[in-house]
Amino acid sequence: MSHAPKNKLWQPAASLNTLHLRADILSNIRAFFSARHIMEVDTPLMCRSSVTDPYIDSIPTIYQAHPDGDTERFYLQTSPEYAMKRLLAACSGSIFQLCKAFRQAENGRLHNPEFTMLEWYRTGFNHLQLMNEVDELLRLILHTTSGYQITYQQLFQTFLGIDPLNVTLDALQACAGNNNINIDADITDHDTWLNLLLTHCIEPKLGMDRPTFIYDFPISQAALARINSDNKTAARFEVYYQGMELANGFHELQNADEQRRRFEKNNTARIAAELAPMPLDELFLSALHAGLPNCSGVALGVDRLVMLALGKSTIHDVMSFDVSRV
C-alpha cells in the first residue's frame, strides 16, 4: 500500500531553472558592489525594537534566553536599516546587504510576509547621486535605458493638475472623487489622500518604457530623510518600473533629536489608529548621537527585481517557497 503524499506544496514555487537564473542575478548584484569596493555586511534580523511607521506592521517573536527563564518580545526586522546605520556610525564606510525582511499582513502578487531586500548606503552621496547609482544597477539587471527623473511636485502637476505642496484638503478630496476614488472614512490627512492618488491614479502608469525616479517628497513624508533647503521637501526618492515600486531611498537624517521626534510622532499616529506603539531603537538613536556620516541609502525589493528581469507575473514565481508553502 502506497503512503506517497498527495500534497504537492512540498515542491518549490519557482522552477529550478528560475532559481538558477535568480542565483545568477544575485551574483551579478554582488559583483556590482564588489566593483565599487562596497563592503557586504550581515546584521541581525531579530531585534528588541522595530519601525514606528504606522503603515508598516512588524512581526513579533518570543525569545527565551534560558529554558526556565523569562521570555522577551523581539521583532523580525522590516529592514536592516537601523543596524546598518550603526555600522556606518562606527566608520564602516559604504556598505550593502542582501537579506530577508519581514512584514505583517503582506501577501499577494507583489507581496510576501518574508521577502528579500537589497539595502545599501553610500557615504558622501546625496540622494540625487544615489538615484544615478540605482539607475546603473537597473541597467545591469533589467537592461533598461537611463531612467526618467521627476520631482514629486512635478509628478502631481503633470498627471493630476494639482500642486501637492500647496493643495487644500477639499481639492484633494475633489480630485479623488473625479478619479473614482470613493472612501467611506472621514480622512482629514493630506498625505493619506496624496498616497491614494499616487497609488490609484499615477503609480500604474509609471516606468512603462524605462524606470521613473520620483524625488523630493513633501516634508510630511520625510521618514528618515533630511529636509531640503526649501523647507518644503525632503531628500527622499522612490523608483518605479512597469507600474510598480522597486526602491525607496533617502539622503539620511543625521540629527538624533529630530529622529526621536519623528519616532514619537509616528507612535502618536499609531495610537490614534488603535495600533500598539513600538519601542524606540535606542541603540540606533545612540549611533546617531555618536555621529552618522553624510550618506544616502536605499532599499530595493529583490523579488520584484527578479520577477521583472525574468518576465514573471508574481514574486511567488521567483521564490523557493512562498508563505503558502511553509
Q: What confidence tens digit (pLDDT) does each residue in 162-197 have? A: 999 999 999 999 999 999 998 877 888 899 999 999
Identify whether 127 is part of a domain: yes
pLDDT at 1 over 80: no
Phi-psi region of 19 (alpha: psi -120 to 50; beta: other; left: phi over 0): alpha
pLDDT at 86 over 80: yes
pLDDT given for residue 4 in this prediction: 66
pLDDT given for residue 306 in this prediction: 98
Identify whether 222 is part of a domain: yes
Identify whether 88 is part of a domain: yes
Instruction: Give the global pTM.
Output: 0.94
Question: Cell 522577551 identifies what position?
Answer: 72
Question: What cell was used for 320?
Answer: 523557493
pLDDT given for residue 91 in this prediction: 98
What angle is formed at CA 200 by the lines to CA 194 and CA 203, rounded to 5 degrees?
85
Identify whether 128 is part of a domain: yes
Query: Given the DSSP bridges, would you call strands 295-301 and 114-123 parallel, antiparallel or unpaired?
Result: antiparallel
Average pLDDT in the 57-70 region? 93
Identify whether 198 is part of a domain: no
Q: How many domains does the chain have?
A: 1
pLDDT at 116 over 80: yes
Identify whether 197 is part of a domain: no
190-197 vs 152-160: helix axis angle to the nearest 10? 60
| Main-chain dihedrals φ then ψ at residue 304, nearest 5 degrees | -65, -40
Question: What cell was used for 201?
Answer: 491614479
Q: What confidence tens digit (pLDDT) does each residue in 219-275 have? A: 999 999 999 999 999 999 999 999 999 999 999 999 999 999 999 999 999 999 999
- Residue 97 lies in domain: 16-45+78-147+210-325
**Structure-model confidence comparison of residues 5 and 12, the more confident one:** 12
Identify whether 174 is part of a domain: no
pLDDT given for residue 5 in this prediction: 66
H helices, E strands: number in the chain: 9, 11
Identify the CATH number of the domain in which residue 118 sits.
3.30.930.10
Average pLDDT, the chain: 95
Query: 285 pLDDT band (50/70/90 cuts)?
Result: very high
pLDDT given for residue 187 in this prediction: 84
Three-state helix/strand/coil letters over 7-66: CCCCCCCCCHHHHHHHHHHHHHHHHHHHHCCCEECCCCCEECCCCCCCCCCCEEEEEECC
Query: 2 pLDDT band (50/70/90 cuts)?
Result: low
pLDDT at 25 over 90: yes
Identify whether 195 is part of a domain: no
Buried b (16+ CB within 10 A) or exposed e, 36-53: eebeebebebebebbbbb
